[in-house]
Amino acid sequence: MKENPRSINRLAAPIKGLAQRFAFMALVLTAFALMLWGKVDVATMERARTQVTDAVAPILDVISRPIDSIDLAINRAHDIYAVHEQNVQLRKDRDRLLHWQAAARRLEAENKVLRSLLNFVPGAEANFITGRVIADTGGAFIHSVILNAGARAGVRKGQAAVTGDGLVGRVAGVGTGSARVLLITDLNSRIPILVGPERTRAIMAGDNSERTKLIHLPSGATVEEGDRVVTSGHGGAFPVGLPVGVVVSVDDKGISVQPLVNRNRLEYVRVLDYGLRGIIQVPPKGTDTVEKDAAAAPAAVGAQQ
Amino acid sequence: MKRGFWNRLDILTRQSTPFLLTLALVIINQLPLHIPGFSQVMPLLPLMAIYHWAMFRPELMPAHAVFIVGLMQDVLSGTPVGINALVYLAVYGTVLSQERFFSGKSFVVVWLGFGLIAAAATVAVWALVSAWYAAIVAPQAVIFQYLLTIGFFPVVVWVFLRWQRGVLGSV
Would you kindly state where each structural domain of chain B is located, as residue ranges? Answer: 17-28+43-166
* Percentage of residues in chain A having pLDDT higher than 90: 33
Flag whether residue B140 sits within 8 Å of chain A, measured between CB atoms: yes
Counting one residue from A and one from B, how many pairs have CB atoms under 8 Å apart?
A: 154
pLDDT of A139 reads 74
Determine phi and psi for A36, rounding to 5 degrees.
-65, -40
Q: What is chain B's Cα-based Rg?
A: 17
Question: Average per-residue pLDDT in chain A?
Answer: 82
Quick check: B39 and A136 CB within 8 A? yes
pLDDT at res. A293: 41
Q: Is A228 at the interface with chain B, CB within 8 A?
A: no
End-to-end CA gap in chain B? 20
Residue of A27, A28, A215, A253 for testing the chain B interface, max B β-carbons within 10 Å: A27
Nearest to A245 by CA among A224, A223, A228: A228
Question: d(Cα A108, Cα A114) in Å, to the nearest integer?
Answer: 10
pTM of this structure = 0.79
Instruction: Tell me which DSSP letter residue A199 carries.
Output: T
pLDDT band at B39 (very low <50, low <70, confident <90, very high): confident
CB-based contact A211:B141 (threshold 8 Å): no
Q: Name which residue leads in pLDDT, A167 or A238.
A: A167
Q: Is residue A116 scored above 50 in pLDDT?
A: yes
pLDDT tens-digit readout, A202-213: 999 988 888 899
Whether A183 has a pLDDT exceeding 70, the answer reads yes
CA B137 to chain centre: 22
Identify which of A154, A138, A167, A163 has the alpha carbon closest to the alpha carbon of residue A49. A138
The pLDDT of B107-111, averaged and rounded, is 92
Give CA B88 to chain center in angstroms: 7
**Which residue in the set A23, A36, A207 is minimally distant from B63, CB to CB?**
A23
Consecutive H or E run containing A259? strand A254-259
Residue A283: pLDDT band with limits 50, 70, 90: very low
CA distance B156 to B48: 7
What pLDDT shows up at residue A279?
44
CB atoms within 10 A of CB A173: 21
Predicted local confidence at residue B24, as pLDDT: 93
pLDDT, residue A124, reads 64
Question: Which pLDDT value is given to residue B3?
Answer: 64
- Residue A295, pLDDT score: 42
> What is the rounded average pLDDT of the residues A12-16?
70
Q: Is the dihedral of CA A107, A110, A114, A119 positive or negative?
A: positive
Sign for the CA dihedral angle at A33, A34, A35, A36 comes to: positive
